[in-house]
Chains A and B, each alone.
Chain A
C-alpha cells in the first residue's frame, strides 16, 4: 500500500497532472456553488475533454470536480439559504443565520475547515479499506461477484431517496436496458431490431450524458429567469482559530465517520449523511436549543460529513466496482471508456490508477482549501449568473460528449432519448441513479451468473455453496422482502 501511494504521489506531482487536478477542483467548487448544477453533470461535461487524455490525468480532473462540488454547495447555502447541492442543505441551517448575523466570512471559514478535515478523514479510511477489501474481493469467484452485484443493486433501491418500489423499478429497467446488444456468451443479438449501431449495446457514455446532463437542463428550465440575488459585499474568508476548531473535534470525528461509513453504502449518496451527523451532534450537545441559530457546530459537522463522503464512495467503487453515487457511476463508465476493467480485478490490474485516484482525493482536498482561502470572493460572484446563460454551454459539452463517443450522431440520439426518460423519471420522483446502476452492473451480473453456472455444470447450488454466499443470498432475500413490504405499505 505504501509503495503504491508513493508511486502515485510521484506520478501526480508532474506539473500537467497537478494543473488538471487544480483546475478540476476549482471547476468543482464553481459547479457546486450554482444551484441546479451537480457533480455528475460537471463530470459529464468534462468527459469529451478527457477522451484525448491519458487515463490518470482524466481521472484526476474528475476527482478534482467531485471533491470541489462538496464545498461549493455550501456557498449559496450560507449566503442565500439555497444549497448548491442537495448535500449542502444541512449547512444552511446554521450557516445562513451566522451570515445574517454579520459573520458570512466566518461561516464560510468553518465550512472550509470542516470540508478540509472531513476530506482528510475520509481519505485515511479509504486508503485503509480499499486495498484490504480488494485483497478479499480478488479471491472471489464468478458466483461471488454476481451476488455482490445483485446485493449492490438491492441496497441501492433500498436506501435511495423516495419510494423503494420506484427504486426497484428503476433498477430492473436498467438491467433490461443493459441486455440490448450482443449476448456476451452466445453472441446472439438482443433487442437490436436490425440496427447495426445497437449491436454493441446502448452507448453507456451517451446514456449518462442524457441522464445527468440533458435531463437536468430540461428539469431546471423552470428555474430560468430567477431574479439574481445581490451578493455585493466583498467577501473574504475568515478562518476560525485553531483553539475553536480543536474544541469542536467531535464534530469533525462524527462527521467523518458518518460521511465515510454512509458514503460506502452504494446508492445512498451524500444527501442523507449530513442530516444524520447533524442530529447526532445536536443530541450530544449540552445546548441543543442553540442549533439552528448560527453556531459553528452546525456548519462543521455537515461539511465534514460531505467531504468524508468522497473517501467513502471510493471504497465500493474501487474495491468492488459498485458505485457509491451518481458521480462515481459516471467515473465507472469513464473507466470503461479508458480501457480499464472496473470491478474486483481493478486493484490487481490497474493499481496505479487506483492509488492515483486515492492520492488525487488527498491533493484535491488540499487544493480545495487553498482555492477557497484565497479566491472565494470570485466564486461567490458566479451566484449572480442566471441559468439561461449557463445551460447552452452545458448542452454543447453534453452533445459533443455524446457525439465523440462514436463520432456519429447515433449516440446523441441515445443521449436525447435518455435525457427525456431521465426528465420524465425525475418529474415522477423515480431516482434515475437506480437505472444507471442497473445499466452498469447488469452485464457484470449476467456474465458472472452464466459463467458460474457453466463452471458448476448448471448446478444452482453453487450460489449457496460457501458461507459468504449464503449470507449474501440471505441479505438479498431479506432486503427484497422488506422493500416490497415497505413499498406496499407506505404512501406513494
Chain B
C-alpha cells in the first residue's frame, strides 16, 4: 500500500509539472523577435507535450487508484482468500533511517562543496569533502579515512589542476 501511495504522490507531482507548464507557456514573456506565418509557434509543441503529459499521468494515476482499490478489496476478503502478493524486499545493509540520513547528507555535502569551491582552495576542499563523506558513509577509522582523503585530494589536484589544467 505504501508503494501505491508513493506512486500516487509522484503522479501528483508530474501532473503539477504538466499543469504549470501549460499555464506558464501562455504568459507572454516577451514579444517575438521574428514573426512568421508558421502554424507552429514557440508555444505549440510545449502545449502539446503538456497536454499529453497530463493525459498520460491521469491514466497512470487511474491505474494506481484502481490497484489501491483492488488491494483494499483483497484485504477485506474472508480468511482463506488470496493474499495480495508483496514484492520481495530489496537487500539493504543499514536501517532505513541511516539510508535516509546518508542520502540527505550526500546532497547537502555536494551542495556545500560546490558553494565553497569559489572560496576555498580546491585541494583543501576536496580533502575535506572526501573525509566528511567517508565518515557519513560509515567508515570509522579516522586514520584510514584521513590517509585516503589526503591521497585522493592530492591525486585530484594533480590530475585536474596540473595535468589537465582545468580552470577550477
Contact = CB atoms under 8 A, between A and B. Distances in A.
Interface of A: 48-49, 51-52, 165-166, 168-169, 172-173, 175-176, 179, 183, 185-193, 214, 217-218, 221-227, 387-389, 391-393, 395-396, 399-400, 403-404, 407, 409, 412-413, 416, 419-420, 423-424, 427-428, 430, 446, 449-450, 453-454, 458, 484, 487-488, 491-492
A419 B107 CA distance: 9
B38 A454 contact: yes
Contacts of A186: 32-36, 41-42
Nearest to A392: B133
B129 interface: yes
A30 to B, nearest CB: 16
Contacts of A430: 10
Nearest to B118: A409
B107 A416 contact: yes
Contact-residue bracket for chain B: 35 or more
Contact of A183 (B42, B93, B134): B42
B64 A191 contact: no
Contacts of A391: 133, 137
Contact of B42 (A188, A214, A428): A188
B10 A428 contact: yes
B138 interface: yes
Contact of A172 (B43, B56, B130): B56
Given A189-B29, A420-B107, A52 B166 contact: yes
B124 interface: no
A221 B63 contact: no
Interface of B: 6-7, 10, 14, 17-18, 21, 24-25, 29-30, 32-43, 45-46, 49-50, 52-53, 56-57, 59-60, 63-64, 67, 90-94, 99, 102-103, 106-107, 110-111, 113-115, 117-118, 126, 129-130, 133-134, 137-139, 148, 152, 156, 159-160, 164-168
Contact of A399 (B57, B63, B99, B113): B113
Nearest to A454: B38
A176 B34 CA distance: 22
7 contacts: A49-B159, A169-B60, A190-B42, A191-B25, A224-B93, A395-B106, A420-B107
Nearest to A425: B10
A388 B139 contact: yes
B110 A416 contact: yes
Given A173-B17, A187-B33, A188-B33, A52 B129 contact: no
A392 B130 contact: yes
Contacts of B111: 413, 416
Contacts of A193: 24
Per CB-CB distance, the 3 closest pairs between chain A and chain B, nearest first, are A388-B137, A183-B42, A392-B133
Given A189-B29, A458-B37, A392 B134 contact: yes
Contact of A409 (B52, B64, B117): B117
Given A392-B129, A454-B36, A454-B38, 12 more contacts: A168-B56, A175-B45, A176-B18, A214-B110, A221-B137, A225-B138, A226-B93, A395-B133, A396-B126, A423-B103, A492-B7, A492-B60
B39 to A, nearest CB: 5
